[in-house]
A and B are shown apart, each in its own frame.
Chain A
Amino acid sequence: DAGITQSPRHKVTETGTPVTLRCHQTENHRYMYWYRQDPGHGLRLIHYSYGVKDTDKGEVSDGYSVSRSKTEDFLLTLESATSSQTSVYFCAIRLGTDTQYFGPGTRLTVL
């Protein structure tokens, strides 16, 4: 599992509430990623980080923000959750120049 943990693993929340998902890695990898997985869409990149305080947008970044204040933690925040953000969220780290390894995922339901 490349030393990646995600928390919480499951969350149910209501529309309009803020939600923060955490990705934690233990192996000091520089690159970290947040994806969402939805049927028929595969995995789509939300945001990624290439170092502490260095982040950039992915394909589906609207409604999401991220922060990385230390190497081991990459946080994904939904400022005001909407039902369209109901999904499974995966964190990944990059090993070497191109290979990514994924965490176990967080299933988020927005009612």
Chain B
Amino acid sequence: QQQVKQSPQSLIVQKGGIPIINCAYENTAFDYFPWYQQFPGKGPALLIAIRPDVSEKKEGRFTISFNKSAKQFSLHIMDSQPGDSATYFCAAYERNTGKLIFGQGTTLQVKP
């Protein structure tokens, strides 16, 4: 049972486009939602994170939108660049257990 569902599995956009990656969850005990970026051969790196008391967080070209009532959150990458080509994972932190639950990952390719 996948507690955090991520879509799409893969995504191709042109340079300058705005890729959007979506995640959904069911567990209301989740209270922290990070996004990780992973380049080939590297470990996942924390990109941006949000808590459920805010609806949006922006850091540079990366924005998280959070809809608590729908139990959904998404990552938007503004003015995407070829260097943004990577795998992106959403995750949710379960306060009760202290565990981080990951989505399945999205492979993004930004074409020049």
- B49 in the interface, Cβ–Cβ < 8 Å? yes
Q: Tell me which residues across on chain B come within 8 A of A60, comparing CB atoms.
A: none
A58 near B103: Cβ-Cβ < 8 Å? no
Number of interface residues of B (CB under 8 A): 23
- Asked if residues B42 and A43 are in contact (CB atoms below 8 Å), the reply is no
CB-CB under 8 A from B32, the residues of chain A are 98-99
Which chain A residues (81-106) contact chain B, with CB distance < 8 Å? Answer: 90, 94, 98-105
Q: Is A34 an interface residue (CB 8 A)?
A: no
Q: Judge whether B93 and A42 touch: CB under 8 Å.
A: no
Please tell me if the beta carbons of A43 and B102 are within 8 angstroms of each other in the complex: yes
* Most B Cβ at <10 Å: residue of A42, A98, A103: A42
Residue of B nearest to A101 (CB): B46
Interface residue A70 (Cβ < 8 Å from any Cβ of B): no
Interface of A is mostly: strand
Q: Interface of chain B, helix or strand or loop or mixed?
A: strand
Q: Are B99 and A45 in contact (CB under 8 A)?
A: yes
Contact of B42 among A99, A101, A104 (CB under 8 A): A104
Question: For the complex, is B45 an interface residue (Cβ under 8 Å from A)?
Answer: yes
Q: Are A31 and B43 in contact (CB under 8 A)?
A: no
Chain A min CB distance to B87 (Å):
9
Is residue B112 contacting chain A, with contact meaning CB distance below 8 A? no
CA of A40 to CA of B89 in the docked complex: distance in angstroms?
11
Interface members, chain A 27-66 (any B CB < 8 Å): 31, 33, 40-45, 48, 50, 58
Interface residues of B in 85-112 (CB under 8 A from A): 89, 93, 95, 98-100, 102-105
Seen from chain B, the residues whose Cβ lies within 8 Å of a Cβ on chain A are: 4, 6, 9, 32, 34, 36, 41-46, 49, 89, 93, 95, 98-100, 102-105
By Cβ-Cβ distance, the 5 closest A-B pairs, closest first, are A102-B43, A42-B102, A43-B102, A98-B32, A98-B93
Interface residues of chain A, those whose CB is within 8 Å of chain B, are 1, 31, 33, 40-45, 48, 50, 58, 90, 94, 98-105
